[in-house]
Chain A
């Protein structure tokens, strides 16, 4: 199983994400944003957290138009698996691969702490958890306030596309949404950082379970 982690100028969680994929059994290739095509034989693409292009214009807006992202889009359109975390989630909404947008946190502050989440919906990314289980993951963002119109929110909830909800909403996100999946449930975008809670030294391994079963699940999918 091979995973590609996209690297933009300003990405800062790319190596953490690569390590989390490696621990889960993936062979990982780092892919610079100026590349025009993903390496061959990629099974999973990770879009990491950070401040791509300095968050200029809007978070994720410039990255969403980077050359490699066109190929990530066609990879996803062909049924490929994509995980976007934090700035990666913002990039995925800017590309249109996921609906909605991430606004400035309602309290206007950058928030960096561990928050409670409830696992919702079903996808390969959440199979390591029980539905409704409460877990804890770190967040670190200024623009994580998920926004979509009511019709979109109803559709996401109706189709089981909300992957994670905050147990105590830190940023004003609509309906406590912390992460959503695409209609084919193969693209996950989430603000919390599972890769930062993936080994004993992190003091929390709730995030490791997101990655743990991916290689076996993808092999049978």
Chain B
């Protein structure tokens, strides 16, 4: 089975990289970009039947730092 994990900085945590991208888009002439948030996408091949709970544990223990990041699990 394939799983995609989306990791994003939590709302309220300043994202300096997203801000830099927003400025760069403005400099390229794209108007109305009011916010950019940059995150990570992690794709994994897992043994069939791996439970959502186990994947959640992977996220909590390693893939995301829940002090600053939130994650979303997407089954493909």
Contacts and interface: CB of A to CB of B under 8 A. Distances in A.
Instruction: Answer yes or no: are A and B bound together in one complex.
Output: yes
A147 B65 contact: no
B61 A105 contact: no
B1 interface: no
A1 interface: no
Interface string B42-73: 00000000000000000001110101100000
Contacts of B17: 104, 108
Interface in A90-139: 93-94, 99-101, 103-108
A78 to B, nearest CB: 22
Interface stretch (A57-65, A193-201, A207-215): A57-65
A103 B62 contact: no
B13 interface: yes
Given A65-B61, A65-B62, A100 B67 contact: yes
Interface residues of A, number: 20
B16 to A, nearest CB: 5
Contacts of B16: 103-108, 145, 172
Interface in A122-176: 145, 147-148, 172
Contact of A61 (B13, B14, B65): B65
B69 to A, nearest CB: 8
B20 interface: yes
A108 B20 contact: yes
Contact of A172 (B9, B14, B20, B65): B14
Interface of B: 9, 13-14, 16-17, 20, 61-63, 65, 67-68
Question: What 3 pairs between A and B have smallest CB-CB spacing?
Answer: A101-B67, A101-B68, A104-B16
22 contacts: A58-B65, A61-B62, A65-B61, A65-B62, A93-B67, A99-B67, A100-B67, A101-B65, A101-B67, A101-B68, A103-B13, A103-B16, A106-B14, A107-B16, A108-B16, A108-B17, A108-B20, A147-B13, A147-B14, A147-B68, A148-B67, A172-B14
Given A65-B61, A101-B65, 11 more contacts: A58-B65, A61-B65, A94-B65, A99-B67, A101-B67, A103-B9, A104-B16, A105-B16, A108-B17, A172-B14, A172-B16
